[in-house]
Structure 1
Amino acid sequence: MKNKTVIITGASTGIGKEIARYFIEKGSFVVMNSSNEKNLINTYKSFGAPENVIYLTGDVSKQETGKKLAALAIKKFKTIDVLINNAGVFSPKPFLEVEENDLDRFWNINLKGTYFTSQAVIPQMLKQQNGSIINIGTVLVEHAIGGFPATAPLTSKGAIHALTRQLATEFGKNNIKVNTIAPGIIRSPLQRKMGIEDADSLAGLHVLNRIGEANEIAEAAYYLAKANFITGETINVAGGHTIGHNI
């Protein structure tokens, strides 16, 4: 992936930050995005302001943000080889308490963000007859937890899983690969935002009896970015969450 151009949304914190770090260290040209300008600049500086990185602040739920990211990548680095649709929001709320604005928030950021940013980069990938799109879903789409009510975000993530398969099918003949990474419980700021003070207390949800680390998602993203014969797949990076639990 050295000298390949990689766009990463939601790249200022958590999983997105680690994905960006991983690709930067491998010598990729990286375009970092976040809706939080302060966090994005701080993260860029924490990486040492590397020459192979540029960044753009913007809300991916707005179609113009995806277009700006694609245009910036082409202007600066000439190609768009990989898009990692990491930007997203997730929080639990009982089904009977979900309101319209809750659904709008998850669908706008999670699904529309993934949809519009993919729409923005595919024309360049068609010109190249090559490219890789990696979406971030969740294992909870296929393996829900009764004590964790999250219908609003899960429906948006489930739509991303479906979008992955359809895009892979539509553009496979153009050598554009589209896959989903479905993380389990990963150590990141997200847990604290959801009110989970001790993320390690959830270790039993995985048969490996531990939670995952953000760099393990980055490793999976790097593998899929390089893979030339994998498309339309959902790769669970979840320590066995979908096959069993430790209680």
Structure 2
Amino acid sequence: MSEERKVLVVTGSSQGLGAAFVKSYRARGWRVVGNAREIKPSDDADYITVPGDIGDPIIARKVVQTALDRFGRVDTLINNAGIWRPGPIASISEEMYRRVMATNVDAVFFATQVAVPAMQKQGGGHIIQVLTSLVEHALQDVPAVLASLSKGACASATRGLAMELARDNIRVNAVSLGIIDTPLHDPSSLEGKKSFAPLNRYGTVADVVRAVNYLEDSDFVTGEISYIDGGRTAGH
């Protein structure tokens, strides 16, 4: 087993952004371990898939441990898996609350907790969170308390971990997204959402991948939250 080639672990990798991250890093020559609740086995020896609910701490730990067992290292962890369930607070069931928090917060904590000691041992690494710009700028017409609670926690953790882990040469960054054309959005709704961004368009998966590539290559950047939202954050 060679430990020289870099290794990515990415959650929510069966479609949308996660699948694009897999493709981008494989193009770089990285080995990859990906996870989703339902994900097909890979016929690529350098891409291992681990099915299961990432909100379960056992699965979250298993995903990262698989990279260590199969490839011997973890260079970057992208905590991409997320659940988007807008709605007024009075309408949210306890079951839905716990499901969203498990996927959006618990999975981030437990996957990161396994990755960090491995990164410390190998002399460095990179952790990237995928957030929403609704955390900073809520909308009256889009009640999203679950997103604020879960992704807001991850935004704070991004900055906190960046400071905690800087001495270990582990960088921690995030991309905070506006409206992006992914399976999270009904395609028929995207035209009506263009006005959310001053650039008057919705974003693409390629926009987000470029931002992640920038963060990956920027060795002097940590604690950064990059807003991929067409200027919405800047305009508020």
* Residue of structure 1 equivalent to 2:46: 52
CA positional deviation for 1:198: 2.3
Which residue does the alignment assign to 2:215? 224
Q: Distance in 2 between matches of 1:215 and 1:30?
A: 19
Which residue is equivalent to 1:94? 88
Deviations 1:147-173 (A, max 9, x none): 011112221110010111111111111
2:52 pairs with 1:41: no
Q: Tell whether the 8 Å contact from 2:55 to 2:99 is kept in structure 1 after alignment.
A: no
* RMSD (CA atoms): 1.7
The percent of aligned pairs where both chains have the same amino acid is 34
1:90-139 CA-to-partner distances (Å, cap 9, x unmatched) read 02111222232222121111011111110111110010120000001111
Kept in 2, the 8 Å contact 1:102–1:152? The answer is no
3-state SS of 1:41 partner: coil
Provide the residue aligned with 1:170 in structure 2: 164
1:74 aligns with 2:74: no
Please give the secondary structure, in 2, of the residue aligned with 1:190.
Answer: coil
Which deviates more, 96-105 or 131-140? 96-105
The CA distance in 2 between the partners of 1:185 and 1:55, in whole Å, is 28
* Uncovered stretches (5+) of structure 2, i.e. residues with no partner: none
| Corresponding residue number in structure 2 for 1:6 | 8
The Cα of 1:35 is off from its aligned counterpart by 1.1
In the other structure, the counterpart of 1:21 is: 23
Per the alignment, residue 233 of structure 1 pairs with 224
Match of 2:141 in 1: 147
User: Do the aligned partners of 1:188 and 1:214 also contact (CA within 8 Å) in 2?
Assistant: yes
Shift of 1:66: 2.5
Counterparts of 2:61 and 2:179, CA distance in 1: 32
Structure 1: which amino acid aligns with 2:208?
Answer: I
Does 2:218 correspond to 1:204? no
Measure how far apart 1:58 and its partner are: 1.9
1:8-58 Cα offsets, whole Å, 9 max, x none, are: 00000111111111111221111111111xxx217x4xxxx3332111112
Amino acid corresponding to residue 156 of structure 2 in structure 1:
A
- Distance (Å, rounded) in 1 between the aligned partners of 2:64 and 2:57: 11
Match of 1:108 in 2: 102
Question: Partner amino acid for 1:227?
Answer: S
Greater relative contact order (Cα < 8 A, sep 6+): 1
Unaligned runs of 5+ in 1: none
On the 8 A contact 1:23/1:30 being kept in 2, the answer is: yes
CA contact (8 A) 1:181 1:236 kept: yes
The count of residues paired between Structure 1 and Structure 2 equals: 233
Residue 217 of structure 1, CA deviation: 1.1
Are 1:138 and 2:129 an aligned pair?
A: no
Any idea what SS the aligned residue of 1:187 has?
Answer: coil
Q: Which segments of structure 1 move beyond 3 Å, counting only runs of 4 or more?
A: none
Shift of 1:4: 1.2
CA contact (8 A) 2:135 2:147 kept: no
